[in-house]
Structure 1
Amino acid sequence: MYEINIENIEAFVYVIHCGSFNKAADALYLSQPSVTARIKSLEQELDCKLFDRQGKQVQITEDGKRFLPYAQQLLLIYQKGKLHINQKKSLPNEFRIGCTVSVSNYIIPDLLPRLKQRFPNTHYKIVTGTTDEIMNKVLGKDVDIGFVRNVNHPSLQSSKFYEDPIRLYAYDGHPFLTTGNLSIEAIAEQPLVFFECGSLDWLRIHRIFEHLDLPPNIQIQTDNSEMAKKLVIQKAGIGFLPDLCAKQEIHDGKLYQIRVPETEGISLQTNLISHHGEHLPFVEAITEIGKQLEAAKLLLSAN
């Protein structure tokens, strides 16, 4: 009767993730024969063949495919348990957060006070950049976690943190505020301040104008949501903005939402990324806070 060895399971998962025994050995800081020995030991433990080896090529078997999700789950549970046992030791003096500029402006101020309540002895450092820059900083361990657009990378775990609807906004006194059933044609004729963040979601905004004979009347285009918002307030035009960006100005009566059925369901998704199994106390706390912020947003929109 064999007992399952967590190191053998780790080797199995890494061979699949890295694509070869040599690359798995490099990632685990082991020799290639050590990884091979661990795989052979696991195959004996399970009484099955996990890989077909043809020269340097490695192909996972059907038994290997069936075992993979259980192996990943076992490894993740082990890593979680290990971190929770040593939680006090593992909590850093400084926690580094990378995020896009919009997240730093509209999410971090609500998130950070709640996070400090849970980890009062930790200091926080916030670094801003584009989604690609922040993802590279997380990969290089220059920051501990990142808030980015909806992206995936095999070396990182990525989960939805927040979804922010994109709506059309107008300034106080604009004629659209008293006009019902607006057509896309009427919106396209208006001077538009167009905030463009490079996300695929913004392509969906562009597509609502595709069927028109003439392009939309985009007077100003910017990649800065704060600038776009202030230009709309200054009556330079109307514009599509994320809800979080306009929250305070709606409250102050400076901006007003205009319902456009064609844009219902279009939103910007912010994902939380980190290395697999790392910083779990923070990741779990931030995920929970994200759910609280989403619930508060829904409650506010219902009122």
Structure 2
Amino acid sequence: MNLENIEAFVYINHYGSFNKAAEVLYLSQPSVTARIQSLERELNCKLFDRLGKGIQITEEGKRFLPYAQQILMTYQKGKLHITQNKSLPEELRIGCTASVSNYTIPELIPRLKQKFPNIHYKLLTGTTDDIIGKVVNKEVDIGFVRNVNHPNLQSIKFYEDPICLYVYEGHPFLTEDNLSIEDIAAQPLVFFECGALDWLRVHRIFGSLDRPPNIQFLTDNSETAKKLVLQKAGISFLPSLSVKEETRDGRLVPIRLPETDGISLQTNIVSCHGKHHSFIEAIIDLGKILHAH
């Protein structure tokens, strides 16, 4: 069985298109079609049905898919194991958003250095769009960005950071039960505009009120928002990682609200397809340890 035929099958299923798979594999569309036809002859079954301009994997294809993925993964791991020392760069260039730079990188990089002691690390901070562009243009090797997908990059979920309402030490809410959204809306609010969708989800909590929430400060920087709350300028909805130390010290206190359950910031790791697999695998494993609590 030809490994390239299996690779074509897995890529077509992932991208939902013969043309897109051909583009990613740097092949012509007829070459990809020929590989699938060859694999279908070997398996004696049809793997895809054509539906107008689209395609759909068959039941036989669905049954074969996990085995095909496993074959490719096993091959790639074996190849990496043999060539790892030759293929590792001397410098790993990492791009990340400000929140990742502030709250994750300082804990992550020393652990990564232990796993890859001979690697030097170059860190750049920017917006999600900036980092995506730098990865595409090969100015950085790995990017930590908001939950986005790009056709030329692989994007893997790294962690989710729950958003919660935080108040300062001694705030009147700490002695009250059954807080209403009206109560919260009347307080001076510091709004951290963490991203269009996330900000809208938080803002929608106040959508049913007659009066708009009392937003006194609006910032795109979580450190600024946090420090304003610490100065008792207001209360704020913030990602939990940004206030980890202050919560542990009791200077900031989370207020649990059913309305904010499920609202979180997702961070993904992006890279060019097939690149830096050993680093990404190590980062994901370390992330499970760092975000276990």
TM-score (norm 1): 0.83
Contact 1:150 1:269 in 2 (8 A): yes
Among 195, 198, 209, the residue aligned to 1:212: 209
2:92 partner letter: F
2:145 partner letter: V
CA distance in 1, matches of 2:244, 2:222: 13
1:221-260 correspondence to structure 2 within 5 Å: 221-260=218-257
Among 66, 77, 81, the residue aligned to 2:78: 81
Specify whether residues 180 and 59 from structure 1 end up closer, same or farther in structure 2 by C-alpha distance, changes over 3 A only: closer
Match of 2:43 in 1: 46
Contact 2:131 2:143 in 1 (8 A): yes
Match of 2:282 in 1: 285
CA distance in 1, matches of 2:259, 2:48: 50
Identical aligned residues as a percent: 70
CA distance in 2, matches of 1:100, 1:33: 41
Match of 1:100 in 2: 97
Deviation at 1:149, TM superposition (A): 1.9
Are 2:126 and 1:133 aligned?
Answer: no
Range that drifts further, 168-177 or 206-215: 168-177
1:92-241 correspondence to structure 2 within 5 Å: 92-241=89-238
Range that drifts further, 146-155 or 230-239: 146-155
CA distance in 2, matches of 1:51, 1:181: 55
**Structure 1 residues 151-180: Cα deviation after superposition (integer angstroms, max 9, x where no partner):** 234544333322222122222333223333
Deviation at 1:64, TM superposition (A): 4.9
Q: Helix, strand or coil: the match of 1:208? A: helix
Specify whether residues 156 and 31 from structure 1 end up closer, same or farther in structure 2 by C-alpha distance, changes over 3 A only: closer
Specify whether residues 222 and 44 from structure 1 end up closer, same or farther in structure 2 by C-alpha distance, changes over 3 A only: same
Contact 1:84 1:281 in 2 (8 A): no
CA distance in 2, matches of 1:20, 1:259: 48
Range that drifts further, 120-129 or 169-178: 169-178
TM-score (norm 2): 0.85
**Structure 1 residues 2-54: Cα deviation after superposition (integer angstroms, max 9, x where no partner):** xx011222334445538346x65554444566545544433332234556789
Are 2:37 and 1:19 aligned?
Answer: no
CA distance in 1, matches of 2:242, 2:23: 45
Q: Helix, strand or coil: the match of 2:170? A: coil
Specify whether residues 47 and 176 from structure 1 end up closer, same or farther in structure 2 by C-alpha distance, changes over 3 A only: closer
Q: Helix, strand or coil: the match of 1:168? A: strand
Specify whether residues 245 and 49 from structure 1 end up closer, same or farther in structure 2 by C-alpha distance, changes over 3 A only: closer
Contact 1:80 1:277 in 2 (8 A): no
Match of 1:274 in 2: 271
1:152 partner letter: N
Number of residues of Structure 1 aligned to a counterpart in Structure 2: 291
Deviation at 1:224, TM superposition (A): 0.8
CA distance in 2, matches of 1:18, 1:167: 37
Specify whether residues 27 and 244 from structure 1 end up closer, same or farther in structure 2 by C-alpha distance, changes over 3 A only: closer
2:17 partner letter: G
Q: Helix, strand or coil: the match of 1:272? A: strand
Structure 2 gaps, min length 5: none
Range that drifts further, 216-225 or 278-287: 278-287
- CA RMSD across the alignment: 2.9
Deviation at 1:183, TM superposition (A): 1.7
Specify whether residues 47 and 256 from structure 1 end up closer, same or farther in structure 2 by C-alpha distance, changes over 3 A only: closer
CA distance in 1, matches of 2:258, 2:55: 49
Range that drifts further, 200-209 or 56-65: 56-65
Deviation at 1:100, TM superposition (A): 1.0
Deviation at 1:191, TM superposition (A): 0.8
Q: Helix, strand or coil: the match of 2:245? A: helix
Structure 1 gaps, min length 5: 299-303
